[in-house]
Structure 1
Amino acid sequence: MVLGKRLRHLRERAGVSFEEAARAIEVTALTVRRIEKAEVGLRIPYVRELLRAYGVPAGEADDFLALAREANRPGWWYKYRDVLPDWFSAYVSLESEARVIRLYEPHYVPGLLQTHDYATALMRVGFPNEPREDIARRVALRMRRQDLLAEPEAPVLWAILDETVLRRPVGGPEVMRAQFDRLAEALDMPKVRIQVMRFGVGAHPGAFGPFHHFRFGFSELPDIVYTESLAGAVYVDRPDDVVSYLEVLDRMSVQAEPVTRTRAILGELRKEL
């Protein structure tokens, strides 16, 4: 996505139209548009000819081509492609590149904070007809995603959890106690913030469903909001729409219990199990 936007900038800076760029690589103008919107892969021969058509100096073009080759390499999650839907692979990619992840979850503990047993119990419910081996692969993918939080350049993770998340039994009391312990441990991570939206708050602006907001370290890449349904997902990047979600998160962060109260809440609910 970043390189596509940079190609567009280079084309516009050179005063080259879509049609002229298309003639340079013998494709349609629509294909050039799709390259710039990251709707198709970055074919190196095409990129090389476009850079030449845009008058990009050799050294700068070589750097750009090196980035394009890197962008074309499969991510670590590629080996899980047998259990990773196409619509969710984009999510894993965004999650891996984000600098800030803010989310509201009304149903379950977010994947980045789940224990192995909690994730397994959820997968068995979500995929009741899948063989045990596939369930194990799905859980392994979820556990591998969590390595992100231990990296030196880990993103800020700011999660607002509905109280329902903590009261819904998943996998039995032992699984839930371990999950509460995992959340308490996550609070010790310098970039993790967890707030609880108590029942007593009543109606609140995020009650329509879960969503995740991603912010990146690239000026070319806008904030993106992810929402999920039973059949797939929607990725929202229109600025006005994204701002609406961000405003909801800001309002909810004020309504929810402060982060300093989360550990005590987890302890109270753990004792009830």
Structure 2
Amino acid sequence: MSEALPSGQSAPTVLRIVLGKRLKELRESRDIPLEDAARALSVSHLTIRRIENAQVSLKIPYVRELLRLYAVSDEEARDFTDMAERANEPGWWHNYKTALPDWFRAYVSLETAAEVIRVYEPHYMTGLLQTRDYARTVIRAGFPYEPEEDLERRVELRIRRQALLEKPDAPKLWVVLEEAALRREVGGPAVMRAQIERVMEVAADPRITLRILPLSAGAHSGTSGHMTYFRFHEQELQDIVYTEVGLTSAVYFDQRPDVVAHLEAYTRISRLAAELLPDTRTYLDHLRKEFNR
């Protein structure tokens, strides 16, 4: 198991992760030890490791000196430095940092850059598909003592994330929902009816696949809890899996055995849902009518 990304104020953009990995590949391809790279910058070898793991921002003088040490061409060095400057720019979510838990900041960066997102959600409607009223109720349950202004800031962040699905290059989104997540009445019948109608609307998008795992499935591979699987355009960035740990932390897996284990579990869950409940739209339509009271 590995925590692929740092949490907290330094949560990186995906570009910074990619550039850190490129710097590591350049160093290793030149057979330069961490200690020699650190000596060139007059820093500790731990600083080089943090740069390569995207745990600190890319200081441009450091980047230039490392590229010189790695004998990178002038043209390639200029391109790399330009990208490093862009990588240090805060993402759009930076304006919402007070509404983002430390351990969730990297998630928004990954979500924004992903080519494919696979979500398994056992408890609630997944955040990318929530209506405003549904989101407000769920967030209030998680933060019962939050001042109203701060609560609305969290709601606004969740709704802002959904703009991702409207982009021309929107990621492919695969969602497996537990039936319990749809039957748990959040905010009352009217809120639930509107939420189900919202899901039926977006599920018509060919880039979105929604499957529902009925209660009759019994024990299965996903009973350990929520997971999100990210795949990216950038070849340097391997697939990453996010899982929540309790109420106040999360783990980001990037080691291949961990990622493969989660993907295989997700695939089994998805196939089981398709077998047990192949007609998702009809089920949602019946459920919507149940909340018509």
Q: Under TM normalisation by the shorter chain, which class is it?
A: over 0.9
- Count residues in correspondence: 273
Q: Which amino acid aligns with 2:268?
A: R
Structure 1 residue 232 corresponds to structure 2 residue 213: no
Q: Gaps (5+ residues) in structure 2?
A: 1-16
Q: Which amino acid aligns with 1:159?
A: V
The aligned counterpart of 1:249 is 266
Taking the aligned partners of 1:183 and 1:125, their CA distance within structure 2 comes to 21
Task: Give CA deviations for 1:130-149 in whole Å, capped at 9, x if unaligned.
Answer: 11111110000000000000
Give the TM-score taking structure 2 as reference length: 0.91
Taking the aligned partners of 2:141 and 2:29, their CA distance within structure 1 comes to 53
Q: Gaps (5+ residues) in structure 1?
A: none
Taking the aligned partners of 2:220 and 2:39, their CA distance within structure 1 comes to 54
Q: Which amino acid aligns with 2:255?
A: R
Q: Spell out structure 1 runs of 4+ moving beyond 6 A.
A: none
Q: CA deviation at 1:7?
A: 0.5
Whether the aligned pair in 2 keeps the contact of 1:161 and 1:197 (CA below 8 Å) is: yes
Give the TM-score taking structure 1 as reference length: 0.97
Q: Which amino acid aligns with 2:109?
A: S
The aligned counterpart of 1:119 is 135
The aligned counterpart of 1:152 is 168
Q: Which amino acid aligns with 1:101?
A: I
Structure 1 residue 83 corresponds to structure 2 residue 83: no
Task: Give CA deviations for 1:24-73 in whole Å, capped at 9, x if unaligned.
Answer: 11111121111111121111110011111111111110100011011100
Whether the aligned pair in 2 keeps the contact of 1:44 and 1:69 (CA below 8 Å) is: yes
Taking the aligned partners of 2:35 and 2:266, their CA distance within structure 1 comes to 43
Taking the aligned partners of 1:57 and 1:243, their CA distance within structure 2 comes to 37
* Higher-RCO chain (CA-CA 8 Å, sequence separation at least 6): 2
The aligned counterpart of 1:138 is 154
Instruction: Provide the secondary structure at the position in 2 that maps to 1:16.
Output: coil
Taking the aligned partners of 2:123 and 2:101, their CA distance within structure 1 comes to 21
The aligned counterpart of 1:69 is 85
Task: Give CA deviations for 1:111-132 in whole Å, capped at 9, x if unaligned.
Answer: 0000000001111111111111
Whether the aligned pair in 2 keeps the contact of 1:198 and 1:257 (CA below 8 Å) is: no
Aligned to 2:181, which of 160, 165, 177? 165
Q: Which amino acid aligns with 2:265?
A: V
| Correspondence list, 1:206-221, <5 A | 206-221=222-237
Instruction: Provide the secondary structure at the position in 2 that maps to 1:154.
Output: coil
Q: Which amino acid aligns with 1:83?
A: A
Sequence identity percentage: 55
Taking the aligned partners of 1:53 and 1:257, their CA distance within structure 2 comes to 54
Report the more deviating stretch, 10-19 or 255-264: 255-264
Aligned to 2:43, which of 22, 27, 34? 27
Whether the aligned pair in 2 keeps the contact of 1:226 and 1:233 (CA below 8 Å) is: yes
CA RMSD of aligned residues (A): 1.2
Q: Which amino acid aligns with 2:254?
A: D
| Correspondence list, 1:40-79, <5 A | 40-79=56-95
Q: Which amino acid aligns with 2:281?
A: R
Q: Which amino acid aligns with 2:63?
A: V
